[in-house]
Amino acid sequence: MATPTLLLLLLFLASAVLIQANVTYDGKSVIINGRRRILLSGSIHYPRSTPDMWDGLIQKAKDGGLDVVDTYVFWNVHEPSPGNYNFEGKYDLVRFLKAVQGAGLYAHLRIGPYVCAEWNFGGFPVWLKFVPGISFRTDNQPFKDAMQRFTEKIVQMMKSERLFASQGGPIILSQIENEYGQEVKALGAAGRAYVDWAAKMAVGLDTGVPWVMCKEDDAPDPVINACNGFYCDYFSPNKPYKPTLWTEAWTGWFTEFGGPIHQRPVEDLAFAVVRFIQKGGSFVNYYMYHGGTNFGRSTGGPFITTSYDYDAPIDEFGLIREPKYSHLKEFHKAIKQCEPAMLSSNPTVTSLGTYEQAHVFSSRQGGCAAFLTNYNPKSTAHVSFGNRRYTLPPWSASILPDCRNEAFNTAKVGARPSQVQMLPTNTPILSWDTYNEDILFLEEGSSMTAIGLLEQVNLTRDNTDYLWYITSVDIDSSESFLRGGRKPTLFVQSAGHVLHVFLNGQISGSAFGTREKRELTFNSPINLRAGTNKIALLSSTFGLPNDGLHYETWKTGVQGPVVLDGLNHGKMDLTWQKWSYQVGLKGESMNLISPDDVSSINWIPSSLAASGRQSLSWHKAYFDAPRGNDPLALDMRSMGKGQAWINGQSIGRYWMSYASGDCEPCSYSGTYRAPKCQYGCGQPTQRYYHVPRSWLRPTKNLLVVLEELGGDTSGISILRRSWAS
């Protein structure tokens, strides 16, 4: 007779076996424990929120009808230096996946480790660039060695925590590489060899779940190739025995400073998903379901905003966005009603008119489901199907789970738009103090010197946005411009991204690149004087590039030429004279953002600071945590450009860059291009910056702002994001 202890052990072992999942696939779908599934997924990136937000975000995903949570794995935050790993706080990948599991959802783990994702350096740690002989994402042994080490590290961590479905965990799919299609075409044989190697390496890790490659048409067996895009109904896997997966159904688009805000109507998004599913698609992942925030210096691009809202069903602050959230929720219910018929039969396609079709699924068990589509973007259609009449709005589909009754139409939105607004908290920000960077006394020769101009990231290793290029020019008192003539002009060519020019300690102007054109030119008159003049060029990055062929070789910083024009003897080329270099700002080296060290710094009270907007200055103040639980934000409209920290944690880069572009109401092209829906022109691209409540103490929270251009700190306020009453 078994003892009670033995019975408990046997029950435990039995339950452990029961929760393990066998995940395979066929030409219809992913198969979990012998059952084909239509899987609805949403991207939630753990570093773009905070751990206290995770449970709420994941529960909203579940309540919205999702089966799966999708996330990339961000190599650069996990291995900031070779062999030194960080999985703490918002980088606690295991905790995030266990929260997914706790909610009863599956996970798709996109290890990459290249992620793109508008993330700094595409998710690669910058130290990788300096590995001898390395060349990214090609048949290069140093790169493959580093990539394999990190991939194995993540897989082993997942295995040790029993997080793969084959062990009873939530992970049913994993991705290796990411959006490699264009690279493999450009690299030819080396690209092909690399894809084959990556697939073989991943499969050899024996995770017990299928591997995916998105936007890689030639993904080697058994890896599944998948689609990313606004529409994917044109897509088919490269083998008939692979399922049709959509790894990124774009819910909106990212935002860049100086550009408008992008929207994607939920009517178009739902219609796109119907078009995909009715042609055999069985896995759809919304990118993003919650976009979140690019905290710290995590933005890529460059010039991607700190907000990564993406017009997602859950907004940057974690609030539901209507009508997108509820319309998709009802849509998902209708899709699930069709699942049995869809996964047991192939569709019969019938024309209902010039722009109208019916896709009908009939199972052997008698089940039936139909999708009636109207591809005309402008005109309503009235169609006959099964001896009934149906009205199909323009650019829409009706779902009939029983082939008779309409359960859902993609264009008929019942939910009201969100009435969410930014409201004052009446929380005072007290006692602003200032610390000015001392430009005049930047020490030439005290740091590294060189003849000529050096590349920025080679010096900074991306540990800071800032690099000083310092030189001097001697001006003879006989120069004609000193006697009232036209001022000489300084011309500086830079590979980007931002340049501030100082002459003898005073700002002379700034120049900015863009995401599309990182390179910039400064070309402006300057106030030289007789004698020695100190020229200090502050080059600033705004997120390193995250995509492009061999983007690790792209240059950043002042590349030259640097030329003075308008002197008696014409032009003076400064490019190849001696330059001194200083990495970072003095305030950074003094750790001005630290709550522990801030009292030891000689801050100047605002009342005693120089009047006017001071460029390149640090400001600090204190505030108490606002009451309530509403998400919080800083309103930075009175400022220029810089960075901000709360209690030593970075809320990200800010910039009051005003949006320009082609803002217009939504219009549909009737093609695979997304509808054009942009707004915000004439306003700051981003005015509000998310402040996680978990970063706050009840009282005396330290706010530190680094302002590059000059701003009015008295205009900064703390707001709460709330539903309108």
Residues taking part in catalysis? 179, 248
CA pseudo-torsion sign 196, 197, 198, 200 = positive
CB of 683 closer than 8 Å to CB of 659: yes
What's 321's DSSP letter? Answer: P
- Max CA distance (Å), the chain: 110
Amino acid (1-letter code) at residue 103: A
569: enclosing H helix or E strand: none
How far apart, in Å, are the Cα atoms of 366 and each of 154, 339, 340?
Answer: 46, 13, 10
**At a CB cut-off of 8 Å and minimum separation 6, what does 698 contact?**
624, 625
711: enclosing H helix or E strand: none
Written as six digits, the tokens of 156 are 């082993």
Of the candidates 257, 261, 265, which has an alpha carbon nearest to the alpha carbon of residue 230? 265
472: enclosing H helix or E strand: strand 466-475
Of the candidates 678, 674, 649, which has an alpha carbon nearest to the alpha carbon of residue 665? 678
Written as six digits, the tokens of 723 are 């539903």
Written as six digits, the tokens of 493 are 């060519």
SS3 248: strand
Residues in the chain: 725
| Reduced 3-state DSSP string for 508-541 | EEEEECCCCCCCEEEEEECCCCCEEEEEEEEEEC
Of the candidates 30, 7, 118, which has an alpha carbon nearest to the alpha carbon of residue 542? 118
Written as six digits, the tokens of 687 are 């005015």
CB neighbour class for 478 (10 Å; exposed up to 12, middle 13-18, buried from 19): exposed
Written as six digits, the tokens of 681 are 């022109």
Q: How many separate helices (H) and strands (E) can be counted in the chain?
A: 11, 41
